[in-house]
Structure 1
């Protein structure tokens, strides 16, 4: 017959004092008050004593101990009530310690659901995703986020956002006829929800963006304006050779169709990467339009641009003006490059509208005419354009691929452009510089 334990009294609890050894005061049915030994500060002063409620039990043949709080915050009556609750769980075959952990997790999840606004999760996604982006792309995404997404969805709980909520935000973008932006913003929102699902954000079980492309207005696809017929290209080349603005800008205009690199790559060209004697420009991969992940994978590689005779001629003259500095095309100050609008603005000044030609459009011009008019292989053209595509054998990008053909191609292209412009124009361009 188990020993009967006399119940505790409020007075006994109140008068219990901590000493050198721990004290245990039993109330029966597994409930007891634990008084730890007295502790002291480094200066020898006694610390306040603790009186802690505990409930000892057995479940599935194992002994367990459940903390019920501290006296006097938890009174004797409250401790007994908690004991009764725990014994009720045991009667149902439930471990009270496991149940408490489950309840604590539920409370924590509920708190996370309440705290996880769309903005909070979106910021977490940005921190991760932007590590693989270029600085320019990261800036664009943040701008779209701050302008069109967060003002509408930012303070909403991400777990409560519906397809209707997302569509409402996108309709506001469509209202200003920014249809392409609406689709791009939809993609950003979708990526945030995908991140939330994969990272197991509490409460997020599906992506409300799915299927929204079907109800958004489709943007009119616009390619970079480019000249694709020889007659128009010839007129443009003549106008470029007769350009009366800045000599440095005229050189940029002349080199843009000859090199057909990306406008940003042309503007950021550095003399240290150009070998006029060897007639080659080695662009570091880090300066090209790739993701940060791709740049890291190809770290140390370069994109080779063979320089035709005509290209070397332009660069040789330009070197007299800017060769003492770092950049081939410096801006207003030598430490910065020429503005991104300079070439397009010069084209507009000559009367060539954006619907006809852009600085980026020279790439499409070269891609089309090199294949259709001059008969060079698409593989060599794509390699020269710096596109990260495998060849037919699936081999990885490398800087020497098709290099012999590309070298012939760049000279043939320069000869073709010179022929279009007319030999007399090609010869007179040097006279217009004032340099013999």
Structure 2
């Protein structure tokens, strides 16, 4: 593995980032194992109801819609390492009761609803804090590389987690997979506590009472931030609902078991990993055209998934779709984070998280209704076509006169700190 100053893994030269990455691989793999197990549990409890699965997805992401901006405010105000330790402890504590209920045969649909909502509330603080913390781990020069590597480890875990989960669900049952997820949070906690705080690259202490409205005005007044945020909103609302659409594609269209569903999820993640590794070579802020063009490519491929005539064809197209999706998300991520003023970064990233994940509840409900009446392929076609149109609109109206060409050409940032997570 190359960790020299020019290699694709150069951010791993930083000890604190290595610890963080190792802990995250364990924790995120457990989370993706839980996603597969939870989806399979809901489908089993409801006789394959798309609406029930959409409701779980909506409940898990609704707290992000309501609380993420406040979570970003906490990230700008408090010690991020301590905040991440606390959120991971709470997440593990929340996961344990549901696992025990499933193991004892007492799990009901409302239990899943409660757990999904509670975990979403914790994630509203954890996600923007984790994204902002990466900048403190590596500093501005290594931030683009660390951000891409964060997407890479996320997708490594996303490949291993579902594939292993499908096998374990088939062999041992859903409850044991959920119990493994409970233990996996220890990976992040141990990594955080082993870090050397003196080596964190914290910027100057900002306002003790940072205001959310100031960050919103900052984005509103920056065309080069506002356009990718708007494009991200359209794509996230309709195009990035794979947690809902993939299990339905597996069970309702191709009629496969948990192992084959895990394979679909793993293939999508493998494509995403490929896209993330491509992004490790990025050293400058991506252009507006690159962001919009990657959205167009993603939209085309997602629509093709809805037209796939067989399971093997869907596997191939999903791999390409995963690569296109992460290329778009990473390009938007880098354009927004590398263009944000350091004093607003936690709150701007909270807004990014709010748009990327907080729009999922409405998108899941809309696509759930569409698929209930028009079939599962219609969900992929809708997501792909909306993404394609939004990307084309951004290509047409988003680039001219955005006034950021000089900033786009600069290496990474002026000289403070930064962040990242997919």
Provide TM-score, normalisation by structure 1: 0.27
Which structure features the higher share of helix residues? Answer: 2
Structure of larger gyration radius: 1
The structure showing larger relative contact order (alpha-carbon pairs under 8 Å, at least 6 residues apart) is 2
Provide TM-score, normalisation by structure 2: 0.27
